[in-house]
Chains A and B, each alone.
Chain A
Amino acid sequence: MGGLSKLDLAVIVAYLAGITAFGLYVSRRVKDTEGFFMGNRRFGKSLMIAQALTTGTRADYAIGVVGASYEIGMAGIWYQWMYIFSTPFFWLLSPIFRRMRYTTTADFFEERFSKSLGVGYSFFALYLFMLWQGTIIKGAALAIAGITGVSEAWIIWGVTALFVLFGVFGGLVATVNTDFIQGIFIIILSFMLIPFGLNAVGGFSGLHARLDSQMFSLLAEKELSPFRVTMLVISGLVGIVAQPHHMAVAGSGKTEMNCRVGWCYGNFIKRLCTIGWALTGLIAAVMFAGEYDHKGRELVFGAMIKQLLPSGLIGLMIAAIIGTVIASCAAFMVSGSALFTRNLYKKYLKPTADDAHYLLVGRVVSAALTVGSLLFALYMPSVVKATIHFVIIVAFVGIPMWVGIVWPRANSKGAWASVIGSSATFFAAQKIGWGEGGQLLSALLVGFALAIIVSQATQPEPADRLRRFFALLHTPVGEEANLEREGLKIAGD
């Protein structure tokens, strides 16, 4: 099939069968919504690391960095390293997510600000989940189609069916447990091509002999100027808190320390993988010099796999790509259904049903979200455009989240003004032709300013709401008895 050897096909089938069986086996433990959505908050450090690594590491990221480094050199690494300076903040943020004790990020907006913000965020997040899943599936399908010659549409359908199997039946328990295995595959994916490639180009000295010295610089004026990188780093940090799946990624650990170590060091492993992707791009620049233009550069990853890897390892690489898609999409699907079930269905449509009913609804919604993401995957014009769109808009929602955590005086009106104002400023700056760095800087400044000014000029949130929210943030995990003594209810109880 598609030029794959029998050995390659056997590796792919064995991998997918094994990982599916394992996912279904561990999903037997899922009996209620808390288990389905948050894994009962029982994850240890290693599973938390695996979850952070695999939900944040995808084949399309590798494909993007390899393609960029192929064209502009080592500086292409910044398409993923834009988050490297945010990573130390994950150590500080993860216990905040854990202490909130919320299931979804919409819970935060509702409990801290207002119902309207919670509902608004829920719809925003559902859109993001579908868009993101669609982008992931499309990216992987392009890569696999490039290697195998199989129709892109068939690959999209096949990969979607697999992650539905995980997400719908297993919830977060199945996803995180299989993530642990797939984390290993991601590291393999990142480094597998390097020894074969270095061998083909005459080692590191061969690279230096055949590439311009500028290709080895971590800074590049072309495409990724220092100002643009700086703004991407800042907006990455602002938006990271509002990414809808991060409530589960950062908050499902058994202890606060598990959450800190998992989110922070899972992402450090990802940054390490990124070095491997950039180096792979440099090798490609020698092997396929001048063969791909700017538009076609992301095809170079598939071309390297096809040319460098022996039979069997090509199958392993395809299995690894599918594995990252399954891990990411299943986690997003579970988080998306949690948002709908808890923040829309349970609160506004059917507040009194039993837990089994909500679990069923969660599973049905998971499937519906998947249909949406499938349509995105089948019909989106460009993976790159969709990815950039995602990174930018999520930063605008991150502003009120930061302000709401740090400043008790921040209120719902300030939060709405911030989101609307920053989005409008961004699109206005885009319309008048400012560069992306300028667009982001102006939007973030306006967003923070509006959050402060409008909050200061209007009534604060009710004292009871604020007391409840900040009491949670000041009550470490393990001291819940303090909350009960004060008569404070934990969200979701």
Chain B
Amino acid sequence: MIEEEKAETRKNSDVAQPIPRSKLEEEGHSLLIVDLLRLARTFNYRRYRLDVIGFLLAWLWVALLLALGYWITRIGA
């Protein structure tokens, strides 16, 4: 019984594999959050290109907004 449960668990853990196979995912549309637990084994820039570029660019906007907020408090000081 325990062995059956373990086998079922293994089967379910594999579900996150691309089903069905996606051409777009291989070309940069894979999603970092969905694959989070497998990233250590499977990450390559080409697969996650859109996520990586957009995410880094968004952090750049965060930095710019923080800098703008700080800069406004310094005007006229």
* Residues of A bordering B, CB below 8 Å: 74, 77, 81, 84-85, 87-93, 95-96, 99, 203-208, 216-218, 256-257, 260, 264, 268, 271-272, 275, 278-279, 405-409, 459-461, 463, 466-467, 470-471, 473-476, 478-479, 482-483, 485-486
Contacts and interface: CB of A to CB of B under 8 A. Distances in A.
B24 A479 contact: yes
B9 A275 contact: no
B58 A467 contact: no
Nearest to A198: B76
21 contacts: A87-B62, A88-B58, A89-B55, A91-B55, A92-B54, A93-B33, A96-B33, A204-B76, A207-B76, A208-B76, A216-B73, A268-B61, A268-B65, A405-B34, A406-B37, A409-B12, A409-B13, A463-B12, A473-B31, A474-B25, A479-B22
B20 A74 contact: no
Given A91-B54, A470-B15, 10 more contacts: A88-B59, A92-B51, A93-B33, A264-B58, A268-B58, A405-B33, A409-B13, A461-B12, A470-B34, A479-B23
A460 B12 contact: yes
A88 B62 CA distance: 8
A476 B50 CA distance: 12
- What are the 6 closest A-B residue pairs judged by CB atoms, nearest first? A204-B76, A88-B58, A205-B76, A216-B73, A476-B24, A91-B54
Contacts of A474: 16-19, 22, 25, 34
A459 B19 CA distance: 22
Main secondary structure of the interface of A (DSSP, over half): helix
Contacts of B62: 84-85, 87-88
Given A207-B76, A409-B9, A463-B8, A482 B37 contact: no
A207 B75 CA distance: 10
B69 A77 contact: yes
Contact of B20 (A96, A408, A466, A483): A483
Given A77-B69, A92-B51, A205-B76, A408 B12 contact: yes
A235 B68 CA distance: 25
Nearest to B69: A275
A19 to B, nearest CB: 29
A203 B76 contact: yes
Interface of B: 5, 8-9, 11-13, 15-25, 29, 31-34, 36-37, 50-51, 54-55, 58-59, 61-62, 65-66, 68-70, 72-77
Given A91-B58, A204-B76, A463-B8, A485 B20 contact: yes
Nearest to B73: A216
Given A264-B54, A406-B34, A275 B22 contact: no
Nearest to A460: B12
A243 B21 CA distance: 31
A408 B72 contact: no
B15 A463 contact: yes
Contacts of A77: 69
A279 B25 contact: no
Contacts of B69: 74, 77, 81, 218, 275, 278
B29 A256 contact: yes
Contact of B34 (A96, A268, A479): A96
B77 A407 contact: no
Nearest to A99: B31
B76 A275 contact: no
Nearest to A217: B73
A482 B9 contact: no
A227 B51 CA distance: 30
Contacts of A405: 33-34
A470 B16 contact: yes
A332 to B, nearest CB: 26
A357 B62 CA distance: 46
A424 B42 CA distance: 38
Contacts of A483: 20
Contacts of B16: 408, 470, 474
A81 B23 CA distance: 38
A471 B19 contact: yes
B20 to A, nearest CB: 4
A59 B73 CA distance: 23
Contacts of B5: 459
A319 B17 CA distance: 51
Contacts of B8: 459-460, 463
B55 A92 contact: yes
Contacts of A204: 75-77
